[in-house]
A and B are shown apart, each in its own frame.
Chain A
Amino acid sequence: MSPWSFRVCLVAVLGGAVLLSVLNLAVPETAAFHVPTYAVSLAGKYLSYAMLALAVDLVWGFAGILSLGHAAFFALGGYAMGMYLMRQIGTRGVYGNAILPDFMVFLNYKSLPWYWHGFDNPAFAIVMVLLVPAVLALIFGWLAFRSRVSGVYLSIITQALTYALLLAFFRNDMGFGGNNGLTDFKDMFGIPLQEDSTRCGMLIATAIFLCGALLVSRYLVTSRFGKVLIAVRDTESRTRFLGYRPERYKLFVWVLSAVIAGIGGALYVPQVGIINPGEFSPANSIEAVIWVAVGGRGTLVGAVLGAVLVNLGKTVFTGALPELWLFALGALFILVTLLLPGGILGLLGRAPRRPKNATPAPEPAE
């Protein structure tokens, strides 16, 4: 990952966000260059997804952990944010209850469940956005890496994790709005969400957070820590024999990645306006993996590129030829893994070649 492509990426993300905002706010609606507000929100959504992709790339590209459940952390961050936004609605809900969100009134809740307390405070909500995914990742990762669950086994149990959460959040008595999730948000930190200026602000904020996450990730993977991490990815046992503790390295990067995904989710919710259990579906997590694979695994920049391109393609395809989107996505999975192991960045020749034996083959016992 050359510094060149990294800088281009930072400039493109920030510049693109600012440019879209300017074209939305300062250019009159009749002008040819005017950008409609939904496009701004869409761009914000892509950048939130890019944070998820970045999180996946961090663990898959640099620690060799293929997570098929990363959308769980994304959705948890989103739910934490959504709970804050729900509490901000106050008496403006359909039922006008100052304390209880609409769905709770509808489901005959008498009082606020204990885990909803504190979410009216923005600082508390922000802490929760970081903490909830981090704690889940810590527990899960500690158990998994300690007992050296790796490779496809880890992939399958991460998938089971997000599947279990999906089922749980679908339940009405979980107190998270069940099937419908959380929606109908009004404002955030006192600013109305529907305003064009808020939308542009959100987009720029997402771009800033994404660049921040990119910088942190890049610092991490180019540091000494990152070198050990890559060693763990390529030959975990050899690294262990050299005296390192691979599980600690993996755990740290795993939790960091969960936090990045959680922030992505928290930025996603106000821009999309809804969070529902569908975000936990295993298919979403696997799609995030393909974004990384398309852009180029282990490059950080590739994750961002892949997330934006694939989602742009999804928007265009599902609008024009909805029948063909799954064919296209499926073909993308197959073609990228078969023919384009380095992703788009690999194709451009600016990323290092995909490391051979990144995931050691399960040799038959001989």
Chain B
Amino acid sequence: MKLFRCLLLLLILMPFAARAQDDAYAGLAGDFDEVSHAIDQLALSGDKNAEAIITALQANSLYITPDNQLWLKKDDDFYNFRTGEKAAEDPDDIRPVRVNNAVRRAIEGALGSLTLFSSDAAIRQHGAEAVFTARDPAALPALERALAKEQDPGVRLAMQQARAAVVLAKPDSTDADKLAAIAVLAARGDLASQSMLDALSNSSQSPAVTKAATDAVAAIAWLQKIWALAQGVFYGVSLGSVLLLAAAGLAITFGVMGVINMAHGEMVMLGAYTTFVVQQVLEAYAPGLFSFSLIISIPLAFIVSGVVGIAIERTLIRFLYGRPLETLLATWGLSLVLQQAVRSIFGANNREVSTPPWMSGATMWGGVTITYNRLYIIIFAFLVIAALMASLRFTSLGLQMRAVTQNRRMAAAMGIRTPWIDALTFGLGSGVAGMAGVALSQIDNVSPNLGQGYIIDSFMVVVFGGVGNLWGTVVSALTLGIVNKFLEPIAGAVLGKILVLVLLILFIQRKPRGLFPLKGRAVEA
């Protein structure tokens, strides 16, 4: 009997329970303030539907009827939120839950606090960041609870920062809490914290808080300046590594051999087109290998450009040794022919060379944004230079090359086939240019004119660094890159480049043999 009464009671109460739950959503029918409040309540209620409701609201597909029934709109049909039943016809007086920017902030904050309890640390971290951005005081209780049981130190830090941001946004926080929060934000030290603290320093009543906030703003501003400097250095090194790649081959052909190869840029271009062809072939015959296309291209570009280089040396340049100005003109003519040949084969338009997934994207290192393609190009440039130096220093070919450059006749007398070494040296320089082309295909347009843009810069790098000195080339490429990037914000990109050129022209007047001239009885060239 008792059991029966209980059941009866339950039966009577059930609609009311449902009704009570519906009433919890009543706020969603109200004006913007009520909607925001309802969202906050919902986030804290522990309602298992909360996330679905708020997500629907975020997608603008949440509707409500005057009896506080929630409906989801999907493809012009309405589905009852609780039962999931499709409404036969549009329910009476149905209207969307109203959303404005304040509500959107509440939504983000609520989603943030909901995700604070996720089992996935990355989602929790994300939630903490969302709370940090939304700064909704209503999220504080949830945040406190989450913080109490958080184990992961990284997520914990993010939650503490979020808590600090909320504390500062809450009008009724105590000064002690605020001071603690300021310290947390100052340690975070990004632009968002800076603007929060800046607002606080202007609005706070308490002098202690104002002072702490002002100090923190100054500290953050200083930190930001340092990061900006570091970012500038990264961009500079990145540009420098591009210059280094473009000039590395020239450092061999011009620096070591003394050959003015105006077709050097075209060797770079051939490397870039090799990458294009490799990608086309892989796409057609081995799509699985596509993400390795650049790694496959590197040796192939070396071989293509190197073989073309050896051919050029054997058919053209060897007749012009000792006549640098004639070499310059002949190789310029060659560069025109190569450009036109590539234009005839591949067309005049830019060719699409895609970036493999592992090279796209970016990461933050402190306050410095590091894009992966730039990072890999920097690493690649230094690997190329290291390999080049090692091959000159430790291989027998390198030994013979150095012997021939230092004293051709003596080298010949020792049994070195100097013409063959000339060809190989030129091939090495051209091959390195080809490898540079693989890297440049990632950041520049692959067109027949690709090489033209680098030729003057490359010569400048080699001359500035000191002809015949690979270390000089490294230093000069990085210096030019960094100087260029630091002039850019002051003078603008084009004017910055002009200034660098003019400075270089003046520098060469002062020190015609570059930064690190080769010592010895160098005769007038």
Interface set of A (CB-CB < 8 Å, partner B): 66, 68, 140, 143-144, 146-153, 155-157, 159-161, 163-164, 167-168, 170-171, 236-237, 282, 286, 289-290, 293, 323, 326-327, 329-334, 336-338, 341, 359-366
Chain B 72-113 near chain A by CB (<8 Å), digits 1 or 0: 000000000000000000000000000000000000000000
CB contact under 8 A between A152 and B260, given known A330-B336, A333-B332: yes
Bound together, the chains give a CA A361 to CA B343 distance in angstroms of: 35
Is A326's CB under 8 angstroms from B336's CB?
yes
* Separation of A161 and B522 alpha carbons in the complex (Å): 27
Task: Name the contact of B320 in the complex, choosing from A140, A148, A337 (C-beta under 8 A).
Answer: A337
Instruction: Give the interface segment out of B157-165, B382-390, B403-411.
Output: B403-411
B321 interfacial by beta-carbon distance below 8 Å = yes
A151: contacting residue among B316, B341, B406, B525, CB under 8 A = B525
- Report yes or no: B524 in contact with A236, Cβ–Cβ below 8 A: yes
Asked whether any CB of chain A lies closer than 8 Å to the CB of B344, the reply is yes
Instruction: Determine whether B520 belongs to the interface, using a CB cutoff of 8 Å to chain A.
Output: yes
Instruction: State whether B522 touches A156 (Cβ < 8 A).
Output: no
- Does B501 count as interface, using CB distance less than 8 angstroms? yes
Which of A149, A293, A337, A360 is the one whose CB lies under 8 Å from B508?
A: A149
The residues of B that contact A366 with a CB separation of less than 8 Å are 407, 409, 521
* A259 CA to B250 CA, complexed, in Å: 34
Q: Hey, what's the 0/1 contact readout for B482-525 against A, CB within 8 Å counting as 1?
A: 00000000000011011001101110111010000010111111
5 cross-chain CB contacts under 8 A? A143-B509, A161-B501, A170-B494, A334-B337, A336-B329
Nearest chain B residue, comparing its CB with the CB of A333? B333
- Contact in complex: B523, A171 (CB < 8 Å): no
For B325, the chain A residues whose CB sits under 8 A away are 66, 151-152, 155, 359
B337 touches A331 (CB 8 A): yes
- Determine which of A143, A282, A330, A363 lies in contact with B333 in the assembled complex, contact meaning CB atoms within 8 Å: A330
**A341 engages B520 (CB within 8 Å):** no
Q: Is B36 an interface residue (CB 8 A)?
A: no
Q: Which of B320, B333, B344, B406 meets A329, CB within 8 Å? A: B333
Taking A160-B459, A363-B322 as given, write out 20 further A-B residue pairs in contact, using a Cβ cutoff of 8 Å, ordered by the A residue number.
A66-B325, A68-B328, A147-B510, A148-B524, A151-B324, A152-B324, A153-B508, A163-B501, A164-B501, A168-B495, A170-B494, A326-B336, A326-B339, A329-B333, A334-B316, A336-B329, A337-B333, A338-B320, A361-B322, A361-B323
Judge whether A152 and B498 touch: CB under 8 Å: no
Chain B contacts of A337 at CB under 8 A? 320, 326-327, 329-330, 333
Taking a contact as CB atoms under 8 Å apart, the answer to whether A327 and B337 are in contact is yes
Q: A156-B463, A170-B494 are in contact. Are A361 and B524 (CB under 8 A)?
A: no
B239 nearest CB across to chain A (Å): 16
Give B490 Cβ to nearest chain A Cβ, in Å. 15
Q: What are the 3 tightest A-B residue pairs by CB atom distance, in nearest-first order? A: A333-B333, A361-B322, A330-B336
Shortest distance between the CB of B463 and any CB in chain A (Å): 6
Q: Decide if the interface of chain A is mainly helix, strand, loop or mixed.
A: helix
Q: How far is the CA of A152 from the CA of B332 in the complex (A)?
A: 14
| Contact (Cβ within 8 A) B505 A363 | no
Docked complex Cα distance between A194 and B336 (Å): 36
**Once the chains bind, are A157 and B321 in contact (CB under 8 Å)?**
no
Determine how close the nearest CB of chain A comes to the CB of B156; give it in whole angstroms: 52
A residues within 8 A CB of B326? 337, 341
Over the window 331-352 of chain B, the binary record of Cβ atoms lying under 8 Å from chain A Cβ atoms (1 yes, 0 no) is: 0111111111101100000000
Report chain A residues within 8 Å CB of B409.
Answer: 366
B258 an interface residue at 8 Å Cβ cutoff?
yes
B319: Cβ under 8 A from any A Cβ: yes
Give a binary string over B210-249; 1 marks a CB under 8 Å from any A CB, 0 the rest: 0000000000000000000000000000000000000000
What's the nearest-Cβ distance from chain A to residue B519, in Å?
9
Q: B460 contacts the other chain (Cβ, under 8 Å)?
A: yes
**Is B281 part of the binding interface, using a Cβ–Cβ cutoff of 8 Å?**
no
| Residue B456, interface by CB 8 Å | yes
- Which of B330, B408, B502, B509 makes the CB contact (< 8 A) with A147? B509
Q: Is the CB of A147 within 8 A of B332?
A: no
**Closest residue on chain B to residue A158 by CB atoms:** B505
Could you say which residues of chain A place their CB within 8 Å of the CB of B506?
Answer: 143
Return the chain A residue nearest B254 by Cβ: A152
Return A148 CB to nearest CB of chain B, in Å.
Answer: 7
Tell me, in angstroms, the Cα distance from A167 to B328 when the chains sit together: 23
Contact present for B456 and A359 (CB under 8 Å): no
**Which of the residues A140, A146, A156, A330 comes within 8 Å of B335, measured between beta carbons?**
A330
Contacts of A290 in B (CB 8 A): 329, 333
B459 contacts across to A, CB distance below 8 A: 156, 159-160
**Cα–Cα, bound, A149→B407 (Å):** 24
| Contact with B340, one of A161, A167, A323 (Cβ below 8 angstroms) | A323
Q: Report the minimum CB–CB distance from A277 to chain B (whole Å).
A: 11
B329 x A160 contact (CB < 8 A): no
Chain B residues, CB < 8 A from A331: 333, 337
Given the known inter-chain contacts A147-B512, A156-B463, please indicate yes or no for A327 contacting B329, CB distance below 8 A.
Answer: no
Q: Which residues on A sit within 8 Å (CB–CB) of B336?
A: 326-327, 329-330, 333
Measured CA separation A286–B505 after assembly (Å): 19
Kindly report which residue of chain B lies nearest to residue A357, judged by CB atoms: B322
